[in-house]
Structure 1
Amino acid sequence: MSAIVDWIVGLMAVIGAPGVGVATALETVFPPIPSELVLPLAGFTAQRGEYTVLAAIVWATIGSVVGALVLYQLGRIWGLERLRSTAERIPLLHASDVDKAMDAFAKRGRTSVLVGRLIPGVRSFVSIPAGIDRMPLATFLIYTTIGSAAWNALLVGLGHELGNRWTLVETYVGRFSTVVWTLIGLAVAVFVTRRLRRRSRALAEAESR
């Protein structure tokens, strides 16, 4: 992680605020580069006078939207039928599961994109179902921009205010991210358990006939 910090610092030092956009675009497409590391560091760098806080937020939002567009396009290319076909090849999944998930997303797509951009761990991935669902591009851009701008302003602002203690943002947001991933893991575990029980009952009923 220290190597990532050094690279980001160097990028910002060389090209200034646009470097924040490049780093944010990369962290959007490659979640292992966490926004809770990039954005507070950008705020701290702004405090040192490398660029303004507003410039950091604007470029970070541009980078977020660019990265989200990449994932959105990947979702469009992959498409619903390929996703359904893939689900049929995965144990315990069915094409109908994909249909239910996409129906739910279609009903709350705008809210999912907006709120999803504010949740660590899933903020990048929410662009993919939007692409699969073929959400209108203008709608996707509007809600992605609003959500990204709010998230970026919060973390850049905290990094600016905390100064040398900007790593505290990463610490606390990282804990929240851990909670989110734990809840996702529990949801997956519940789903697998229920599906296994259903399969066991079906096999028992078939054998009893």
Structure 2
Amino acid sequence: MAEWVQNVMDTLGYAGILLLMIVENLFPPLPSEVILPSAGFAASRGSLNVVIVVIVATIGSVVGTLPLYYIGRAFGEEKLVAWADKHGKWLTLRGKDIRRADDWFDKHGPKAVLFGRMIPGIRSLLSLPAGISEMPIFTFLIYSTIGSALWASSLVAAGYILGENFDQVEHYISPVSRVILVLLVIGAAVWFVRRKQAQKAETT
């Protein structure tokens, strides 16, 4: 994949980075851990300007968050609450669970978006609850931009410094992404089991 990403950048330049970062938010198997260090390597060869690379990568990353954000806005809290009350039983999900999650995001959403944009595995997923909770678009863009810029700067700098060994960045970050994914799955499973147990206790 790294070779293909490099070919896209060699062919399209900054436009390629922009496109790849937009797609990365919608298609997680194309991770920024591959794109950004590769862009940093391209800058180290002198074919791209490292500052412009970071700016373009940040713009692409932020633009890529908007589809999921607006999907969340389209559904909204009330629609999800109504759906959970009607169909969520098999997921042990109730309308009040949606409201509780929404209240949490209303309180901690900006921090979640800011730091979440720097966490592999959940970077793009946070756009959905941000939209569902109807976080103001300006607030969402501000925190998403800051988090995305910090993430892009770190990975581009790593690729720039490592040069031809830029692919080592992915080797270090990919295990972290897998651990986070596993923890999320385990957390969801634990929540599911506990909700089932709580429902059984309520009916006895």
Same fold (TM over 0.5): yes
Task: Give the CA deviation at 1:167.
Answer: 1.4
Q: What residue is the counterpart of 1:61 in the other structure?
A: 58
Task: Give the CA deviation at 1:135.
Answer: 1.2
Taking structure 1 as the reference length, the TM-score comes to 0.90
1:28-66 CA distance string (max 9 Å, x none) = 122121111111111112112220111111100010110
1:145-178 CA distance string (max 9 Å, x none) = 1000000000111011111211111111111111
* Structure 2 residues not aligned, in runs of 5+: none
Q: What residue is the counterpart of 2:83 in the other structure?
A: 86
Distance between the aligned counterparts of 1:160 and 1:148, measured in 2? 18
Distance between the aligned counterparts of 1:171 and 1:183, measured in 2? 19
Q: What residue is the counterpart of 2:11 in the other structure?
A: 14
Report which stretch shifted further, 12-21 or 92-101: 12-21
Task: Give the CA deviation at 1:93.
Answer: 0.9
* Structure 1 residues not aligned, in runs of 5+: none
Distance between the aligned counterparts of 1:140 and 1:199, measured in 2? 36
1:138 aligns with 2:99: no
Does the C-alpha gap of structure 1 residues 45 and 86 become closer, same or farther in structure 2, counting only changes over 3 Å? farther
Distance between the aligned counterparts of 1:100 and 1:167, measured in 2? 41
Taking structure 2 as the reference length, the TM-score comes to 0.93
- Code of the residue aligned with 1:44 in structure 2: it is F
Q: What residue is the counterpart of 1:46 in the other structure?
A: 43
1:187 aligns with 2:203: no
Does the C-alpha gap of structure 1 residues 21 and 94 become closer, same or farther in structure 2, counting only changes over 3 Å? same
- Code of the residue aligned with 2:82 in structure 1: it is S
- Code of the residue aligned with 1:115 in structure 2: it is F
1:29 aligns with 2:32: no
Q: What residue is the counterpart of 2:196 in the other structure?
A: 196
- Code of the residue aligned with 1:107 in structure 2: it is K
SS of 1:108's equivalent in the other structure is helix
Aligned residues between the structures? 201
- Code of the residue aligned with 1:139 in structure 2: it is T
Distance between the aligned counterparts of 1:144 and 1:164, measured in 2? 30
Task: Give the CA deviation at 1:81.
Answer: 2.2
1:110-167 CA distance string (max 9 Å, x none) = 1111011011111101111111111111111111110000000001110111112111
Distance between the aligned counterparts of 2:84 and 2:155, measured in 1? 36
Task: Give the CA deviation at 1:201.
Answer: 2.4
- Code of the residue aligned with 1:137 in structure 2: it is I
Q: What residue is the counterpart of 2:120 in the other structure?
A: 120
- Code of the residue aligned with 1:66 in structure 2: it is V
Following TM superposition, the consecutive aligned residue runs of length 4 or more in structure 1 with deviations greater than 3 angstroms are: none
Task: Give the CA deviation at 1:108.
Answer: 0.7
